[in-house]
Amino acid sequence: MSRIAVGTALVLAMVVGSAWGQPAEVRPASETRTAEADDLALARGLSRAFQRVARTIEPSVVHIVSKQSRPVLERVGWFEVRDTGRRQVVENGMGSGVIVSKDGLILTNNHVVADAEMLDVRLRDGRVLPGKIVGRDPLTDIAVVRVESSELSAVEFGDSDTVEVGEWVVAIGSPFGFENSVTAGIVSAKSRSRVPLRELGEDAYKDFIQTDASINPGNSGGPLLDLDGRLIGINSAIATRAGGSEGIGFAIPANMAKAVMDSIVRNGRVVRGWLGVSFSDLAGGEARSLGLEPNSGVLVRAVEEDSPAKRAGLRAGDVVVRYQNRPMTQLSTLRAAVALTQPGTKVEMQIVREGKPTTINATIGDFEAAQGIAEIPSWGILVRTMPREESRRVRNFDVRGVVVTQVVPDSVAARSGLQTGDIIVLADGKSVSTSEGLRDVAGRSNLARGVALGVIRGNERGTITLRE
């Protein structure tokens, strides 16, 4: 700025000040230098906080490469190729993860490892270790991986329920393969549920933390951290039109990720809680008619007969405002909280009924048992009884059976070719129409001899033999 411009600006400031009956304030140079020094000290302090988080947590962040074995093909004509009988290992995906136990447990996203036959896990010190999938949960997009090592640097869990909008956060991961990249931002919002993600279906549990910390492809599975270096989320997705970061990223809350991990490690799968209630968000008009503020609770639409909610006395029209002393402002938050409560747990809910606050105590049920779901560990599958209204018509015959909802990687079922979505109608020569019936047959079966399963896949019927 020229001297004339500076002088003009000063005169204008004095005139404006006089016009308001106040003299223009001109700070002494010493005060200006002091203010600038204070600003720099504040900025440097925040910078040191980011540096401390990065320095402390980088050894806990890993780079994950997903691999598959594929046949080697060769061209034998203009349009013809043939299988050479050889196979090659190729990379088919990458992402990030975070070490959560010193003996090698790693949290990441399900979509990072879902199609993997092999995993390479690269540590901060340069070591590359083979990773084994302990378990996956497509409904929360969480997966648990293990590497064989000890005395690893593990992250400390924070309480994602206490995270505040506007709070500084740090994201670490491998965007576009650039390992241990650190970005910073703030928590932009909490309890984001209307997030259209192709990795998650309609039944998924969506209760995301939104952040403007830069997250890009490859960051998936990496940690979102507070300024104390505690894990508050697992970075999972971005909203983008161009394919890269546009300032809207989503992380799975750490409390949800830990509950899923603990269930997988304890049970080999996620065991979900069940209340037997149909909920909905509390719309503005409904809230005002009940004397409540919008988004101050979750409305009970219906209660199933012979359910934990019915036995506890919950009624249609009640508004759940707190669950286990946690505020419940959205359906997505309450739905996830119930699902991640272990069956048999006694819970307390604060509700509003006809304008009056009251407390309800319930014992959470088992979702799998309520939905006719059963696990068959010896085969490595999870199955669900197919209700009569879902019965399939195949080749002019109405059939009932048991739907395969999950196949454990590298299990007897997986090696034998059984797939998610297959319908089992016969086992060892016996018709099966319930998950409990199939589990009984499995308990008496001999895998060494082989177990023949009658299977419907699409509109085709066939036989798959399970054998060790």
Q: How many helices (H) and strands (E) does the chain have?
A: 10, 30
Structure tokens at 439: 């589990």
Give dist(CA 362, CA 248) in Å, integer.
38
Tokens 């962040």 belong to residue = 61
Give dist(CA 353, CA 351) in Å, integer.
6
Cα→Cα distances 113→108, 123, 133, 196, 416, Å: 8, 17, 8, 20, 21
DSSP assigned state of 450: -
- The answer to whether residues 129 and 106 touch, using CB atoms and an 8 Å cutoff, is no
The four Cα atoms 352, 358, 363, 364 give a dihedral, to 10 degrees, of 20
Element housing 253 (H / E): strand 249-253
Give dist(CA 410, CA 16) in Å, integer.
78
Instruction: For residue 354, count other CB atoms closer than 10 A to its CB.
Output: 11
Give me the amino acid identity at 77. Answer: G
378 among known catalytic residues: no
115 among known catalytic residues: no
Catalytic residue, chosen from 137, 141, 318, 422, is: 141
- Dmax (CA) for the chain in angstroms is 100
Give dist(CA 148, CA 150) in Å, integer.
7
Catalytic residue, chosen from 60, 66, 111, 207, is: 111
Cα→Cα distances 430→123, 313, 433, 454, Å: 50, 42, 10, 9
Contacts of 51 (CB under 8 A, 6+ apart): none
Contacts of 257 (CB under 8 A, 6+ apart): 107, 140, 142, 233, 234
Give me the amino acid identity at 166. Answer: G
Cα→Cα distances 446→95, 209, 449, Å: 40, 48, 5
63 among known catalytic residues: no
Catalytic residue, chosen from 220, 263, 416, 445, is: 220
Structure tokens at 29: 């140079």
- The answer to whether residues 61 and 172 touch, using CB atoms and an 8 Å cutoff, is yes
Element housing 285 (H / E): helix 284-289
Residues labelled as active-site residues:
111, 141, 220
